[in-house]
Amino acid sequence: MHRRSAGGDRLAIANVPTNMLSGLLLLGAKLGVDSDSWLAGLHLSQDQLNDPRTRISYRQAYEVIRRALPMLPIDAAGLAMGGAQNGGNFGLLGLAMKTARTFGQAVRIGLDYQRNLGPLMDLVLDDSDADTLAVVATAPEQAQDLLPFLCEEMFSSILMLGRELAGDGFNPVRLELAYPAPPSIAAYQALFRCELRFGQARNAMLVGRPWMQLPFASYNPVTSQQALSLCRAQLATLASRGETTAVVERLLRAQLRDNPQMSELAQALHLSERSLRRQLAEEETSFSEIHDRLRTELALELLQEPELSIAAIGNQLGFNDAREFRRAFKRWTGHTPSDIRRPPG
């Protein structure tokens, strides 16, 4: 069930991983640009954007990009970002694609699990043409002003992954883009090495059908299934949480040892405690629910570290008394910490 905070507005749902914005920060640092102003007022920090557990909303992501682009001293910033990608940037999804049987299967895996990487455009496959397959990218109406950057980053990332999977000889048949030809058209040509069409009805990369039959020497059915299983689990964690919930999660996660109270977080967010409680209720959650869930997640993670005592784990979660931690953990999970740590059998 979707949280009511979205109000039907997908842009306010905070389920977007931060891969792309982390790359944007890296590009800014490489170019010597001070990126502090990119995040001002959004309840985000650079450390949070570099944390794979962080989720943000589309609205926040688009706002960061709008602030960043005028400050970057280069044209075609999206090409600079996407063109620097390699398989390692795609994590588990990249592994699942690399160990697929064929290029075509890898493409379909990539499309099935695209949300795992936090793309800011939606991708679908159009197979209506006899000679080519088209990967079609769509941005919401609210992000049309960012279309050149979003297309540059998306299609150049896909291109670099395609060349890593199929070899440097991989080239699209054509790139169709819905915006006018930019001044940096030579950079497009040098990277994509294919026909370019601007001012089109859609944004699409067309690939010749013979590429789809290309077998992969790296095909491994066991590794592929393991990677796909992890991709499915990763996708399932992208819950449709609202922006206020996501902000509270980020603040709490950094302060669990201090056992912060709701009033402290409300003050940090420049809200009254009543307003914060109301906003969380609109997103069908509460401060205590979020607090307990994050403490449960961290406790389960720390219980895998045998050198940590139960008391030390409780202390990291804000409990000064080990017995109090044991009671809370039993309430959260139905098990004691020792039950979880005890080896099976």
> pLDDT tens, 157-197?
999 999 999 999 999 999 999 999 999 999 999 999 999 99
Q: What residues contact residue 330 under an 8 Å CB cut-off, 6+ apart?
A: 336
294 pLDDT more than 80: yes
**How confident is the model at residue 107, as a pLDDT?**
95
**How confident is the model at residue 44, as a pLDDT?**
87
Task: Please state the rounded mean pLDDT for residues 196-222.
Answer: 95
Q: What is the DSSP letter of 215?
A: B
Give residue-wise pLDDT tens across range 227-273: 898 888 777 766 566 778 888 888 888 889 999 999 999 998 888 99
Domain range 4-235, CATH architecture? Alpha-Beta Complex (3.90)
**How confident is the model at residue 244, as a pLDDT?**
85
Give the strands of the sheet with 174-176, arranged side by side: 122-126, 132-138, 203-208, 174-176, 195-197
- List the alpha helices (DSSP H) in 103-146: 103-112
Which residues are 135's β-sheet partners? 125, 205
Q: Are 87 and 164 in contact (CB under 8 A)?
A: yes
Q: What is the DSSP letter of 95?
A: H
Average model confidence (pLDDT) across the chain = 88
Q: What angle do CA 46, 248, 54 make, to 5 degrees?
A: 40
Give residue-wise pLDDT tens across range 10-52: 666 767 888 889 999 999 999 999 999 999 988 888 988 888 7
State what percent of residues in the chain have pLDDT above 70.
93
59 pLDDT more than 50: yes
**How confident is the model at residue 149, as a pLDDT?**
97
- List the alpha helices (DSSP H) in 69-146: 77-82, 91-98, 103-112
CATH topology agreement for domains 4-235 and 243-341: no
Nearest to residue 230, comparing CAs of 116, 118, 98?
Answer: 116
Q: How far apart are CA 8 and CA 152, in angstroms?
A: 28
Higher-confidence residue of 16 and 345: namely 16
Tokens 């590009």 -> residue = 27
Q: How far apart are CA 19 and CA 161, in angstroms?
A: 15
Q: What residues contact residue 4 under an 8 Å CB cut-off, 6+ apart?
A: 282, 283, 284
The structural domains of the chain, with segments of one domain joined by +, span 4-235, 243-341
Task: Please state the rounded mean pLDDT for residues 191-210.
Answer: 98
339 pLDDT more than 90: no
Dig out the tokens for 46 from the structure: 């650079």
304 pLDDT more than 80: no
Give residue-wise pLDDT tens across range 82-122: 998 876 678 788 888 989 999 999 999 999 999 888 788 99
Residue range 243-341, CATH number: 1.10.10.60
Q: How far apart are CA 205 and CA 109, in angstroms?
A: 17
Q: How far apart are CA 149 and CA 69, in angstroms?
A: 9
Which of 126-140, 210-224, 304-318 has the highest average model confidence (pLDDT)?
A: 126-140
pTM of the model: 0.72
Give residue-wise pLDDT tens across range 125-142: 999 999 999 999 999 888
Q: What residues contact residue 243 under an 8 Å CB cut-off, 6+ apart?
A: 5, 12, 13, 14, 57, 59, 60
**How confident is the model at residue 11, as a pLDDT?**
67
